[in-house]
Structure 1
Amino acid sequence: MMSLKDAGGAVCQVGAAYNLHIYPQLSTESVSCCQVTATKDATTTEVIEDAVGALKLDPSKHYVLVEVKESGGEEWVLDGSDSPVHRVLLWPRRAQDEHPQREGYYFLLQERNTDGTIKYFHMQLSSEGEQRQEEAAAAARRLVERGFLPWQQEDFDDLCNLPSLTEATLLENLQRRFLKQKIYTYVGSILIAINPFQFLPIYNPKYVQLYENHQLGKLEPHIFAIADVAYHAMLKKRVNQCIVISGESGSGKTQSTNFLIHCLTALSQKGYASGVERTILGAGPVLELTACWA
């Protein structure tokens, strides 16, 4: 990476040129890497302009430069006035030379959406199966919560993470999720469910297995996550667990109860506890009556 020679070939620290290696994450057709020459005073905006020109990208679109430090699990979106070269000089020496991705320190060039969010093509392309996609999304959320990624995102799956918690922002967040058929949202350990008034294919055995024995909040909010946490807490602590379902008439309490019974029954059939399935199924009529009176 370090190229400390001026045009005459003499070593020169003032105005020295550095070769920055940038990895575009823009689409499946992106090239693996491009090289941009920059000085210590070159800003992120200037480096992005050079990279866009080198890659022959659409200059009318908005791009961001992201500093990645995999060793610390960090991804930091650089401001336009930041100096990428200064960032590199803080990296370990081995990562400064061409900063290959295997060293864990490198730059990503990514496209910014019109609403300020970033298109994370690498998360979608590297996922194999729904569970890995969920884990990648959860990793991105953790980076946001730690301040390594900007707060601008389309929705929050936990209302506790809203940067501004008001009735308006809460309802707007729920509406955005509902329009994407994301009917579940956490408030800490509480699950908000919105009646979609249609069938959604998210209650099959594959989803039971997906949420099995996972920490609450690690994956996308789901009623199966609540059932799984209660079930495994019962087995581990050997103490009765209670799941309270409340809401207005027509909000979906009865259907939520059925989904809980379905998940708990599926979990009990794996042999974790004998007789649990029979007990759960026997409680069905009682739960239905309770839901009707609630």
Structure 2
Amino acid sequence: MTAATRESSRAELDALLRSGPFHLALRAAIEHSGLTLEALRVRLARRGIKLSLASLSYWQHGRSRPERTDSLRALRVIEHILDLPAQSLTALLGPPRPRGRWTQREAGYRRYDGILEPAAPLTQAIEPVLGPSDRQLRVFSQEDVVTVGPDRTIRRIRTRAVLRSLEQGADRYLAVLRGEPGSDPAALVPAARQNCRLGRVSRHSASPVVVAELLFDRELRAGETHLLEYEFRLDSPVPSHDHRRGFRYPADSYVASVHFDVSAMPARCHRFRREPFSAERVESELPITRDRSVHLAARDVPRGVMGVSWRWD
């Protein structure tokens, strides 16, 4: 492998480690290392890890993935053998695949637990339109454009996203919005704008949560990307104090911009980040531009919550 080829191989590997899918990232890491599957199996055996060639082959071709305790231990050793950052492959797995009817329902209520609250109403609104699991897709890049009106309420959130399909057959995306506490769920109105069409819409009966099914024109191939644009209109009288985006899986990049009406300028704005299951927010102040807007931009976005907050007084 020439130096230029190796550099290109490393760049491709780094991109896959940021956004997945898991099997392509594993395959790229093995190829970049120069090891054969047999050589990798032998090195694992020297460390007391027994893993068959068939399992390694299935993992790198997406036919199965490590889920059991011994398999996850083997994956951590593989990361070390291939000279990868710790947890870089493990993070691409996401939550375990549910098994059985009751396990599936129980896992559903943990879907947003530790990410966005209230987790139970979010899950209850998602279940009627779940269809194919959203674990089939990962966010390659995402941009939110938020408009705050003169009454200090968020009027519109427009989102442009590039999604990567982890496996054959992904044909829809679930857009989820949690409105301000006390707002009417019926006041959260979704719309499809580009490369998708609106399918089923589910609202929670008591909490301001809405889920919109965005349908693609065709099924995506494994590794294929899809660009779409959608928006939510918010006809709610409840003032807003922040815009937040929950990431259940790592994402390659995220941009959020907030635009304020001239008669509703905040005193200060901050970007913030919160890890899953943590109450602590890491904040830093954002400058307000002359056109009354602020923005944040992030690369290698981890699981958790990221957003922009503002103070009126």
TM-score, normalised on structure 1? 0.22
Greater helix share, structure number = 1
Structure showing greater Rg? 1
TM-score, normalised on structure 2? 0.21
The answer to which structure, 1 or 2, has the higher relative contact order (CA under 8 A, 6+ apart) is: 2
